[in-house]
Copies of this chain bind each other. A is one copy, B any other.
Amino acid sequence: MKPPPRISLDAMGGDQAPEIVVQGADKAFAAYPDISLIFVGDERKISPLLKTTRYMQEADIHHTDEAVAPGDKPSQALRAGKNTSMWRAIELVANGEVDAVVSAGNTGALMAMSKLQMRMIEGVTRPAIAGFFPNPHGQSCVLDLGANIECDAENLIQFAIMGSAFYRDIHGGVSPSVGLLNVGEEDQKGFDYLREAAAVLGADSLNLNYHGFVEGSDIAGGKVDVVVTDGFSGNVALKTAEGVAELFQGGLRSAFSENISTRLGFLLARSGLRRFRHKLDPRRYNGAVFLGLNGISVKSHGGTDAFGFSNAIGVAVHMLQQGFIPEVKSAIHKARYILNKGINDRDE
Residues of A within 8 A of B (CB): 73, 134-136, 146, 149-150, 181, 183, 186, 188, 190-191, 215-221, 229, 231-233, 235-248, 250-252, 254-259, 261-262, 264-273, 275-276, 279-280
Contact = CB atoms under 8 A, between A and B. Distances in A.
Given A244-B245, A254-B276, A236 B239 contact: no
A70 to B, nearest CB: 13
Given A236-B183, A241-B241, A261 B251 contact: no
Which one of A73, A150, A183 has the highest number of Cβ atoms from chain B below 10 Å of its Cβ?
A183
Given A135-B247, A216-B237, A245-B248, 6 more contacts: A216-B238, A221-B243, A233-B236, A244-B244, A256-B269, A261-B268
A184 to B, nearest CB: 8
A214 to B, nearest CB: 10
A254 B272 CA distance: 8
B275 A255 contact: yes
Given A244-B245, A268-B262, A250 B136 contact: yes
Chain copies in complex: 2
9 contacts: A216-B239, A216-B243, A248-B248, A248-B280, A252-B252, A261-B271, A262-B272, A265-B266, A268-B268
A239 B214 CA distance: 11
Best-surrounded residue of A240, A271, A275 (most CB of chain B within 10 A) = A240
A251 B279 contact: yes
Contacts of A272: 254-259, 262, 265
Nearest to A108: B184
